[in-house]
Structure 1
Amino acid sequence: MMRHTATLTAAICAGAVFLQGCNPADNASNSGSGTSPGTTQASARLDVKPADPLATVNGRPIPRSAIPQQHRPGPPGASDKMRDELVQRELLRQEAEKQALLADPAVAEKVDNALRMAVSQAAAEYFIEHQAPTDEEIRLAYEEKSAPLRKTEFRLRHIVLASEAAARDAIARLQKGEKFEDLAKKLSTDTASKAQGGELGWQTQDRLAAPVSAALAGLKNGELASVPVQTAAGWEVVEREDFREKQPPAFEQVKDQIVRGLQVKKFQQHVDTLKAAAKIDMPAVPSASPRPASPSPAKP
């Protein structure tokens, strides 16, 4: 479940505006270091008490969850290297507290931004875990997405001619025993298919001209249309070679993808609701000053 949540929250980071640019791995390592401008020095550290800390520095534990997901378990020695790095970060954080760096508004803003990213990510993950789509919602979404993928396909040949009379003559010749392939190579004006004997391969019904689609629907496999059909290309002689119903992917094959899509949709709706209920003041961003024009080179 954790892997599924990590994948989904990464998708939410890409899709949700206020989480744009977030990185779950980075957030995990920053989750213990953040404060808002104007807060006291003590509030710059969350009171984390893991049962099995990765390390303890001057009495302060570092949780094992501080190791980014992509480094677990990692190659031999990688975890030791990551632990050393986390210990160094904790030492530097304690040093920053001694130096009262959070009293600097610029530093406090950076820490506040890091905390905002980490906590917003936690809120997103909490919402995902507690707002799972129902089986009915998943099934309805599957039907909605799969319906357009259920398509009728015909495999066919055609000969395109300039006039109805020429097309009827071609049909008569085919009915007398001439091969469709040979006649298409001799007569068809469709340069794209004549070299293949008029072969068009599998075509979905919605991509065919309406008269051609209707003619094929009334034929059996291997049967020639007894009358030509007129299309924008000219007068066509058509032969139905085969027929099949193109099916969408099976439900179980795409279920996880559908669930992720529904969760992202629910999450975005949740964010939209929060925005609608909030009082948000967004001052206009000042436009950049135009650059002065470069002086023209002096004429000799």
Structure 2
Amino acid sequence: MKNVVKPLALISSLVLAGFVGWFIANHQTTEKVSLNSEIIAKVNGKGLAKEWFIEQMKLRGGLKPGQFQTSEQKQALLDFLIRQEIVYQEAMSLGIGDDPAVAHLFKKAVIDKYTTEHLNKKLEQVKVGDSEAERYFEQNQMSYNKPARRRGAIIVAELNADDDEEARKEKLARIEKAQQAVNEMDLSTAHFGELAKIYSDDRASMYQGGVIGWFIQHPSRKYKWNQAIIDKLFELEKPGDTSEIITTDDGHYLVRLVAAENVKEKAFEQVKKGIKNQLLQAKRTQVRADFLAALAEDAEVEINQKMLAELSAISEPSKNKSNTPPAMPSVGGAQ
């Protein structure tokens, strides 16, 4: 039952806070008013304004055809709002409006209302045109292209740190023999075929003709193979081409190009929508930062740094060695 009660309590608090916010902001009038052309109803002497009631109709779909056309529809809404007013007055009389949790939610509602009316208007004015997006595309076109790929195969005679001179000579002789056998292969076989099982020490690829997969030539891509192997693979021109013997600290290699895909360029129209969204979000982020910075400039802020430093942590130390960042408030208001 505990897992059910807590969400319900939270929802109730949010509903109460929301009502408090819109009530105070939209329809609080002076006490003991009389019904007149501006007041549609009274609850315990407090007037509910006609204009406020019209806004409530709009918020509940009143602009859609067929909504609130009859007196019964309008009466039903007014009855609901009156019941809400009765609950509100009773809650306030019991001091619920002074509850810290309610005050916190009310504060957030005020912040959200302020940002909606002031910041959101600025954000709505931010636009990104096709020409701006196209300039960005031209400046960053390489990042949108699909990079070239190479599929490679290897034969390797592995070298170990404890190999003696005789063992090293034997392994070099083996890779040279493999090279000779490759030169005599049927050119219709793109990989090393059976030769990989005969000559290669790499058990992961030797039963697949030496094939070790696809590779992309990009600074951010890292592979388990020595970079000299990857570089050589991209130097080979057509499938079936085989390198000379390449010697690294861990072995002697033959590298064969199995398949190749060249760079595939994307047209602007293919990525225009994504670029415009990216630029729009970047602009809105800057507008938001400038908006908050402008408010901060006019604010007088003092911080008790000594007290801040002396505050004890309220949780156990993290088991993770790396620093765990603190939870931060949401952008619009307090979390």
Residue identity opposite 1:154 in structure 2: R
1:203 is displaced (CA, Å) by 1.3
Q: Find the aligned partners of 2:251 and 2:242 in 1 and give their Cα distance.
A: 16
Cα distance change, pair 58–253 in 1 and its aligned pair in 2 (3 A): same
Partner of 1:157: 153
Task: Name the aligned partner's letter for residue 301 of structure 2.
Answer: D
Which one is further off, 206-215 or 169-178?
206-215
**Which of 167, 170, 173 in structure 1 is aligned with 2:178?**
170
Structure 1's 255 and 96: CA in aligned 2 closer, same or farther, altered over 3 A? Answer: farther
Q: Which stretch has the larger CA shift, 154-163 or 139-148?
A: 139-148
SS at match of 2:22: coil
Identity %: 21
User: Within 1, Cα distance between the matches of 2:24 and 2:300?
Assistant: 21
Give the secondary structure class of the aligned counterpart of 1:240: strand
Query: Per-residue deviation at 1:182?
Result: 0.4
Greater radius of gyration (CA): 2
| Inter-CA distance 234–109: structure 2 relative to 1 (3 Å threshold) | closer
C-alpha displacement of 1:126: 2.4
Counterpart check, 1:184 vs 2:196: yes
- Cα contact 2:236–2:242 (8 A) shared by 1: yes
Q: 1:112 deviation in Å?
A: 4.2
Query: 1:135 — aligned with what?
Result: 130
Unaligned runs of 5+ in 2: 1-14, 31-47, 65-73, 159-170, 316-335
Distance 1:40 1:149, change over 3 A: closer
CA contact (8 A) 2:152 2:213 kept: yes
Task: After superposition, give the CA deviation of every residue in 1:228-266 in whole Å (9 maximum; x if it has no partner).
Answer: 113454221111122213437654444333333322222
Report the counterpart of residue 281 of structure 1 in structure 2.
Answer: 301
- 3-state SS in 2 of match to 1:154: strand
- How far the C-alpha of 1:223 sits from its partner, in A, is 3.1
Q: How large is the Cα RMSD of the aligned pairs?
A: 4.4
In structure 1, the partner of 2:326 is: none
User: Compared with structure 1, are the counterparts of its residues 91 and 241 closer, same or farther at alpha carbon in structure 2 (3 Å cutoff)?
Assistant: same
Find the aligned partners of 2:234 and 2:245 in 1 and give their Cα distance. 14
Cα distance change of structure 1 residues 252 and 127 upon mapping to structure 2, 3 Å threshold: farther
Shift of 1:193: 1.4
Residue 138 and residue 183 in structure 1: after superposition, are their counterparts in 2 closer, same or farther (change >3 A)? same
Give the alignment of 1:56-75 within 5 angstroms.
59=50, 60-61=53-54, 62-66=56-60
Specify whether residues 117 and 97 from structure 1 end up closer, same or farther in structure 2 by C-alpha distance, changes over 3 A only.
same
Corresponding residue for residue 212 of structure 2? 200
Displacement of 1:66: 4.5
Residues 180-189 or 208-217, more deviating = 208-217
Q: Which runs of 5+ in 1 are unaligned?
A: 1-25, 44-56, 73-82, 292-300
For the structure 1 residues 139 and 31, does the alpha-carbon distance in structure 2 shift closer, same or farther, using more than 3 Å as the test?
A: farther
Q: C-alpha separation between the residues in 2 aligned to 1:88 and 1:232?
A: 85
1:86–1:239 CA distance, 2 compared to 1 (3 A): farther
- From 232, 248, 262, the counterpart of 1:215: 232
Q: Residue 9 of structure 2 corresponds to which residue in structure 1?
A: none
Shift of 1:85: 10
Q: Deviations over 1:207-244 (max 9, x none)?
A: 56443344334433233325111345422111112221
Offset of residue 146 of structure 1: 5.5
- CA distance, structure 1, for counterparts of residue 76 and residue 210 of structure 2: 68
Look up the SS of the partner of 1:133 in the other structure.
coil
Secondary structure at the counterpart of residue 181 of structure 1: coil
Which letter maps to 1:155?
A: R
CA distance in 1 between partners of 2:255 and 2:75 (Å):
74
Is 2:101 the partner of 1:120?
Answer: no
Are the counterparts in 1 of residues 194 and 209 from structure 2 also a CA contact under 8 Å? yes
Q: Is the 8 A contact 2:241 2:257 kept in 1?
A: yes
- Name 1:257's counterpart in structure 2: 274
1:144 shift after superposition: 6.2
2:22 aligned partner: 33
Q: Distance in 2 between matches of 1:176 and 1:165?
A: 17
Per-residue CA deviation, residues 17-54 of structure 1 (Å, 9 max, x unaligned), is xxxxxxxxx9xx87981658xx99449xxxxxxxxxxx
Question: Match for 1:204: what amino acid?
Answer: I
Give the total of aligned pairs: 235
How far did 1:115 drift?
A: 3.3
> In the TM superposition, what is the alpha-carbon distance from 1:189 to its structure 2 partner?
1.6
Instruction: Describe the SS at the equivalent of 1:191.
Output: coil
> Is 1:95 matched up with 2:86?
yes
